[in-house]
Amino acid sequence: MIFEDKQITLKDGRTAVLKSPCVEDAEKLLNYIKKASSETDFLLRYPEEWNITVEQEEAWVNRIRSSPDTLGITCYINSEVAGNCEISFKSGMKTSHRANIGIAILKDYWNLGIGSAMFEELVAAAQNRGTEIMELDFVEGNDRARHLYEKFGFRVVCKKPNAFKLRDGTYLSEFHMQKYLIRRL
């Protein structure tokens, strides 16, 4: 799916553009996700696990752009990638009422309102699609993410104890959240 470019103003007055990831930015997108993965333990992978080629990243961008079931939104600041998010609409007959969200913003750009701007677009896209339940997961201790998600009406529905095991042996639980776009079932 393609997201129509949208200019936003950040909390510090700078402007940014939300747009679909561009295939010519595949290398930038790969560098961005490696950097984001090095800046927090709250993402699924360590940076070295992103051992894919630029060509593979290009294929991922093309898949996102052409898929009828996935909307990717990248935040560009001065043509550099500051963050990215995705909503994946499930397509199975028994699950197509649900959609799953992922988001990561580079540390330099945390707390500037990018996550909130992205969530407004993701919720609108889910509403337009007729999605009933939006879902996401966050890891224990990710208070900024939890605050953002609760601000947009997501609520914790279950906990997966010890879902993450960090390099130093620390176990972290994962929380599953849902947001109902229809009257709660």
Ligand X SMILES: CC(C)(COP(=O)(O)OP(=O)(O)OC[C@H]1O[C@@H](n2cnc3c(N)ncnc32)[C@H](O)[C@@H]1OP(=O)(O)O)[C@@H](O)C(=O)NCCC(=O)NCCS
Binding site for ligand X (CB under 6 A): 40, 42-43, 103-105, 110-116, 138, 142-145, 147-148, 151
Strand, helix or coil at 55?
A: helix
Q: How far is the CB of 152 from ligand X (least distance, A)?
A: 10
Give the residue among 185, 179, 81, 90 at the shortest CA–CA distance from 138.
179
Report whether 141 contacts 38 (CB < 8 A): no
Q: How far is the CB of 75 from ligand X (least distance, A)?
A: 9
Q: How far is the CB of 143 from ligand X (least distance, A)?
A: 3
Q: Which residues pair with 99 in a beta bridge?
A: 89, 134
Show the DSSP H helices in the chain as ranges. 26-39, 54-66, 114-129, 143-151
Give the residue among 23, 46, 35 at the shortest CA–CA distance from 110.
35
Nearer to ligand X, 59 or 162 (CB): 162
Q: Looking at beta carbons, which residue is closest to ligand X?
A: 115
Q: How far is the CB of 46 from ligand X (least distance, A)?
A: 13
Report whether 89 contacts 69 (CB < 8 A): yes
Nearer to ligand X, 144 or 160 (CB): 144
Nearer to ligand X, 5 or 108 (CB): 108
Nearer to ligand X, 47 or 113 (CB): 113
